[in-house]
């Protein structure tokens, strides 16, 4: 097994404010669907290399059934202010988002999206993520099914105390 707690790679030190497990709730809307609410868990961790590993999942707050999930890696090449996010989605989509870091605020926009042969959905996303201490808020806009970039999700999460 790899060392469980190596030092953070200096390239991603400016992203240290993301580390940990975050849980909370969000609300979704879109012109083509009914409004909905969801529970969410987001985890950021590192292994001493120049990236943060990332896994996210949401669930229906009433029935507990899983809704969305995504997983991938966050990069900050050269320790600068340009953020790169590589993502896989279980709908058969891979996606790259790029954008900027300013303090503890990150803005990202889809730059590449590709799908498997059987995948149906293709969308482009825009994310605004803002951390204040142990609080994380994000907003996500989506362009999909012929609808231009439109507000889709917003959520407020709290960082879990260290286990």
Task: List residues near its own copies by CB under 8 A.
Answer: 1-3, 6, 39, 41, 47-49, 51, 53, 55, 57, 59, 64-66, 69, 71-73, 75, 77-78, 82, 84, 86-90, 92-96, 98, 111-112, 114-119
- Write down the least CB distance from residue 79 to its own copies, Å: 11
User: Which residue lies nearer to its own copies by CB, 113 or 151?
Assistant: 113
User: Which residue lies nearer to its own copies by CB, 26 or 72?
Assistant: 72
User: Which residue lies nearer to its own copies by CB, 2 or 146?
Assistant: 2
- Read off φ and ψ for residue 12, nearest 5 degrees: -105, 10
Residue 124 sits at the vertex; the CA angle it makes with 58 and 64, to the nearest 5 degrees, is 10
- Write down the least CB distance from residue 133 to its own copies, Å: 24
- Write down the least CB distance from residue 128 to its own copies, Å: 19
- Write down the least CB distance from residue 2 to its own copies, Å: 4
User: Is the distance from CB of 72 to CB of 58 less than 8 angstroms?
Assistant: no
What H or E segment, with its residue span, contains residue 119? none
Neighbours of 72 (CB within 10 A): 20
- Write down the least CB distance from residue 125 to its own copies, Å: 14
User: Which residue lies nearer to its own copies by CB, 16 or 116?
Assistant: 116
How many CA atoms within 13 Å lie on the side-chain side of 134?
9
Residue 30 sits at the vertex; the CA angle it makes with 94 and 156, to the nearest 5 degrees, is 75
């Amino acid at each position: 097994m790899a060392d469980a707690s190596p030092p953070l790679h200096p390239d991603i030190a400016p992203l240290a404010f993301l580390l940990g497990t975050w849980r909370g709730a969000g609300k979704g809307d879109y012109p083509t669907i009914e409004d909905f609410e969801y529970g969410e868990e987001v985890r950021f961790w590192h292994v001493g290399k120049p990236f943060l590993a990332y896994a996210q999942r949401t669930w229906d707050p009433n029935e507990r059934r899983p809704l969305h999930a995504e997983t991938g890696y966050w990069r900050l090449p050269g320790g600068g202010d340009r953020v790169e996010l590589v993502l896989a989605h279980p709908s058969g989509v891979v996606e790259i988002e790029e954008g900027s870091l300013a303090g503890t605020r990150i803005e990202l926009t889809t730059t590449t999206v590709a799908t498997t042969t059987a995948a149906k959905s293709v969308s482009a996303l825009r994310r605004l993520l803002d951390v204040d201490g142990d609080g994380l808020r994000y907003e996500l806009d989506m362009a999909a099914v012929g609808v231009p970039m439109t507000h889709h999700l917003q959520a407020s999460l709290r960082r879990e105390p260290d286990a």
